[in-house]
Amino acid sequence: MLKDFFSKKKHASKPSEEAKQDIPEGLMLKCSSCGKIYYREEMRKQLYVCQKCGHHHQLPSDERINSLFDEGSFLEYDTNLETGNPLEFPSYSQKLEKDQLKTELKEAVVTGEGTINGFRTAFAVMDSRFRMASMGSVVGEKIARALEKAREENIPFIIFTASGGARMQEGALSLMQMAKTSAAVQRFRDAGGLMISVMTNPTYGGVSASFASLGDYNFAEPGALIGFAGRRVVEETIREKLPEDFQTAEFLLEHGQLDAVINRHDMKKYLTTILDIHQAGGNVS
Amino acid sequence: MRQVLEFEKPVIALREKIAELKKFTTDSDLDLSEEIVKLETRLEKLENDIYTNLKPWDRVQMARHADRPTTLDYIEHLFTDFLEFHGDRYYGDDAAIVAGIAKYKGQPVTVVGHQRGKSTKENIRRNFGMPHPEGFRKAARHMQQAAKFGRPIICFIDTKGAFPGRAAEERGQSEAIARNLMEMAGFEVPIICIVIGEGGSGGALALGVGDRLLMLENSTFSVISPEGAASILWKDGGKAKEAAEKLKITAQDLKELGVIDNIIPEVRGGAHRDLASQAELVDRAITDNLAQLEKMDKQVLLEKRWEKYSNIGAYTE
Ligand SMILES: [Zn+2]
C-alpha cells in the first residue's frame, strides 16, 4: 500500500557494482526502490540499507538491537506477555499464530535494556513484520512497563517505532493503549527521564498519535512514512492529489514535526552523542 | 424535519396514529378515548421492546442522530456564565472544538468538547466536529489553564474522529493528539470525560483521558468506524453492521471490558427526545463523580488516574 509511493523516492547513491543478477531467489534480495540485486547476507551486513540508492528497508528487531547495543549487554523485559482474543474476534488468534511462526516473535514489540557505547538505556523496538506492528494490549503494556522500568531505574528510554496503527481486532482496548502509553510517558517525563523516539517506516495512526510523537527528541529514518491518517484516506477525504513526498520523514522535517532525519548507519554514533550530552539517566538531579 | 431511524419506524407510525385520533377527537364529536388508551398501552409496550433491545448498529444510528444533543446543548443546560474562548495561539481557531470557562452549581470549571453542527451549513462551519491540530491545541491550552487555576475539567466527546486532511497532517495531527493524551494524564485537577454521541478513535480519546470516562447509554466509542473496519477487514463497507457488533463499541460492552467507568442512562427513545430530562441525567452523573473526585488529594487523584489507564488491556502472563 505504501510501497508504490515509497519506491519513487530517490536518494544520493554510492557507487557499487551492478553484478550478480542471475542468482536464484531466496539467497538474493532486490531493492524495492532502485531494483539493485543483493546477496541477502550482504544486505544484512548493510543493515538493509541499499548501497546504491540509500533506501532504508525494514530491519528485523533483533538485528536492530544487535546493531545498536554493546555485545552481551542486552537484557529483554517481559518475555512472557501473551495476546489473548478479548473480543473473540473472528480469525484473530490464527493471524497471531501465523505471525508468531513467521517471525519467531511473540508480539510486535521487543523491550529491554542494554548499553550503547557504555550508556545504559531502556528501549523498545517495534517490528512491523508482526501484524504490521499494530498496537494491541500487549504492545501497549510492554511499552508502558519499559517506561516504568526506565523511570524506576533512572535511565533513558529509546523507542524505535513502526506501526500500521491500531489493532482493530482488540477494539477499544487497542485504542486505550494510546492513553496508557502516553500516561506512562507523562510519568517518566515528570521524573526527569530522557526519551528519544526514532520513527521508522511506517509509523501511523495510534502509535504516531501517542508515544512516537512524545520524545524529548523525535527523529526518523530517511524516507520513513509517518502520519496520523494514511495517504489513501487523506486523498479520498480532500479529493486532491498529494505531493509525492507527502508524509515522508523529509516532508515532516520540513514542516517542523521532527528534530532530525538520521541515517541508519549513523544511528549508534548519533544516539551515543545525545546520551553523552545528557549523561547517565538524563536526570538533572 | 425529524430524522427517523429504521428500527423506530413502528414506534413513530403508532405515535402518529395516536396523534391523529386525538386530533380527530377534538375536531369532531366522536369519543375515541377508549381506543386511544388502548393504543397508548400498545405504544408503551412497543417502545419497551424496541428501546431495551437495541442492537449495536441501532445505537450507532442513535449516536449519529441529526437531532442528538451536542456539547453546546449540554453546556446551556448544565452550566451558568459560560464564556467561550477561541484559538490555539499558534495557527487558528478550530470550530470543531468549543472550550471555555463556566460555573457548575456555582463552582468554576473548564469545559471542552467536540462540536458538530445540526444543519448542513453549521456542519460545514464546524467541519462535522472533526478537529484539526489547532482544535486539540486549543483544548490543551484551556486544560492547562484549568490546572493552573485549580478548576475541574469537564470534557464532552462527540466526533467521528480527527480530520484526515492534508493540512492537519502538515501541522502535526499526531503530535497534537499525543500531547493531549500525555498532558491530561498529569493535570492535577479532576477530569470528567463524557461520550455524548460518537467517540471515534484518537480524535475522541484526545479529550478522553481523565479520572472518569462515562458514556451515554446510546453513544459509541470505537477504535475505528464500523464502516472503516468492514472495508479493511472484509473489503466490504456494507458489512458495517456486523463490524459494529464485533468491535464492541457500545457503552454496555465497554463497561464490561473495563474501558469506561459508568453508563449514563438515556431518556426513552434516545437523548434527542427530551434534552432537558437528558441534561438532568448528565447533571446527576457529573455531580456524583465530581463529589467523589474532589475529596481526593492531588497525588491520590493522579495515582488513581494512572492505575485506571495502566490496567486497561487484555493479556496473559
Ligand atoms: Zn536501492
pLDDT higher than 70, residue B276: yes
Is A214 an 8 Å CB contact of chain B?
yes
Interchain CB contacts (distance < 8 Å): A and B: 182
**Percent of residues, chain A, with pLDDT higher than 70:** 89
Q: How far is CA B79 from CA A225, B282, B305, in A?
A: 44, 12, 25
Shared domain check, A154 and A273: yes
Q: Is the pLDDT of residue B303 over 70?
A: yes
Q: Within an 8 Å CB–CB cutoff, is residue A259 touching chain B? A: no
Residue A132 makes CB contacts below 8 A (sequence gap 6+) with A108, A163, A164, A165
CA distances from B66 to A63, B5, B38, B164, B271 (A): 53, 10, 32, 22, 11
A12 part of a folded domain:
no
Statement: residue B25 has pLDDT above 90: no
CA dist B90 and A231 (Å) reads 25
Dihedral sign of CA atoms B285, B291, B296, B299 in order: positive
Contacts of B181 in chain A (CB under 8 A): 178-179, 182-183, 209-210
In the DSSP assignment, the letter for residue B281 is: H
- Confirm whether residue A31 is marked as ligand binding: yes
pLDDT given for residue A9 in this prediction? 38
A285 is in an annotated binding site: no
Q: Average pLDDT of chain B?
A: 95
Total residues belonging to chain A: 285
DSSP codes of every residue in chain A: --HHHHTT------------TTSPTTSEEE-TTT--EEEHHHHHHTTTB-TTT--B----HHHHHHHHSPTT--EE--TT-EE--TT--TTHHHHHHHHHHHHS-SSSEEEEEEEETTEEEEEEEE-TTTGGG-B-HHHHHHHHHHHHHHHHHT--EEEEEEE-SB-GGGHHHHHHHHHHHHHHHHHHHHTT--EEEEEEEEEEHHHHTTGGG-SSEEEE-TT-BEESS-HHHHHHHHTSPPPTTTTBHHHHHHTT--SEE--GGGHHHHHHHHHHHHTTTS---
* Total structural domains within chain A: 2
State the distance from the centre of ligand 1 to the C-alpha of A53, rounded, in angstroms: 4
A97 belongs to a structural domain: yes
How high is the pLDDT of residue A76?
A: 98
Same domain, A157 and A252: yes
Please tell me whether A62 is known to bind a ligand: no
In a domain, A13, yes or no: no
Partners of B195 in the β-ladder: B157, B215
A105 and A151: one domain? yes
Averaged pLDDT of chain A:
90
pLDDT at A3 over 70: no
Interface test with A, best of B166, B184, B233, B305 (most A CBs within 10 A): B166
CB-CB under 8 Å, B205 with A255: no
A155 labelled ligand-binding: no
* Domain ranges for chain B: 6-53, 65-311
- Above 50 in pLDDT, residue A231? yes
**B21: CB partners within 8 A, 6+ apart:** B32, B35, B36, B39
Interchain proximity B313–A137, CB inside 8 Å: yes
For residues A58 and A35, what is the distance between their CA atoms, to the nearest angstrom? Answer: 16
Domain shared by A207 and A274, yes or no? yes
What's the confidence (pLDDT) of residue A91? 93
In a domain, A181, yes or no: yes
A189 touches chain B (CB under 8 A): yes
Cβ atoms of residues A159 and A215 within 8 Å: yes
Average pLDDT on B8-36 reads 87
3-state class (DSSP) for residue B82: strand
For residues A38 and A171, state if they share a domain.
Answer: no
pLDDT confidence of residue A285: 40
A243: CA distance to ligand 1 center in Å? 22
CATH number of the domain encompassing residue A211: 3.90.226.10
Do A32 and A142 belong together in one domain?
Answer: no
| Whether residue B228 has pLDDT greater than 70 | yes
Alpha-carbon span A86 to B133, nearest angstrom? 32
The answer to whether residues A47 and A125 belong to one domain is no
Which DSSP state fits B115? -
Q: What is the pLDDT of residue B24?
A: 84
pLDDT digits (tens, 9 = 90+) for A165-177: 999 999 999 999 9
Look at residue A16 and tell me if it is in a domain. no
Average pLDDT estimate for B128-132: 98
Q: How far away is chain A from the Cα of B177, in angstroms, using its nearest Cα?
A: 6
Contact yes or no for A179 and B170 at CB 8 A: no
A285 vs B5: CA distance, rounded Å: 61
Residue A26's pLDDT is: 74
Determine, yes or no, domain membership for A113: yes
Give the confidence band of B313 by pLDDT, cuts at 50, 70, 90: very high
Q: In Å, what is the CA distance from B6 to each residue of A4, B50, B62?
A: 42, 11, 10
Co-location of A53 and A63 in the same domain: no
Distance in angstroms (rounded) separating the CA atoms of residues A153 and A194: 12
Ligand 1 center to A197 CA (angstroms): 26
Residues 6+ apart with CB under 8 A from B46: B10, B11, B14
A50: pLDDT strictly greater than 70: yes
Which one, of B188, B204, B203, lies nearest residue B153 by Cα?
B188
Q: Is A246 on the interface with B (CB under 8 A)?
A: yes
Regarding whether A247 and A120 lie in a shared domain, the answer is yes
Q: Which CATH number fits domain B65-311: 3.40.50.620, 3.40.50.150, 3.90.226.10, 3.40.630.40?
A: 3.90.226.10
Mean pLDDT value of segment A245-257: 98
What confidence tens digit (pLDDT) does each residue in A163-207 have?
Answer: 999 999 999 999 999 999 999 999 999 999 999 999 999 999 999
CB atoms within 10 A of CB B85: 14
Look at the alpha carbons of B137, A246, A130, A89 in this order and tell me if their dihedral is positive or negative: positive
pLDDT tens digits along B73-118 = 999 999 999 999 999 999 999 999 999 999 999 999 999 999 999 9
Cell numbers given for B146: 484549568
Per-residue confidence (pLDDT) for residue A5, from 0 to 100: 34
Q: Would you state the pLDDT for residue A25?
A: 54
Q: How far apart are the first and last CA of chain B?
A: 55
Mutant choice from A91, A139, A182, A199 vs B, greatest count of B C-beta within 10 A: A182
ipTM of the complex as predicted: 0.94
Q: Tens of pLDDT along B148-176?
A: 999 999 999 999 999 999 999 999 999 99
CA diameter of chain B: 76
Give B106's contacts (C-beta < 8 A, 6+ positions apart): none
**Is the confidence at residue A19, as pLDDT, over 70?**
no
pLDDT band of B29, cuts 50, 70, 90: confident
**Which chain B residues are within 8 Å of A179, Cβ to Cβ?**
181, 185, 205, 208-209, 309, 312
Three-state SS annotation for B162-210: CCCCHHHHHCCHHHHHHHHHHHHCCCCCCEEEEEEEEEEHHHHHCCCCC
Enumerate the residues of chain A whose CB falls inside 8 A of the CB of residue B303.
none
Residues A271, A155 within the same domain: yes
pLDDT value at B32 more than 90: no
Does B209 contact chain A (CB < 8 Å)?
A: yes
- Domain of residue A72 covers 58-85+92-278
Cα–Cα distance, A228 to A219 (Å, whole number): 16
pLDDT at position A8 over 50: no
Classify residue A148 by burial, with Cβ atoms within 10 Å: 0-12, 13-18, 19+: middle
Given A57, A72, A105, which residue is the final one in a domain?
A57
Sequence-distant (6+) residues with CB within 8 A of B246 are A87, A89, A90, B229
Chain B residues whose CB is inside 8 A of the A188 CB are none
CB B63 within 8 A of CB B198: yes
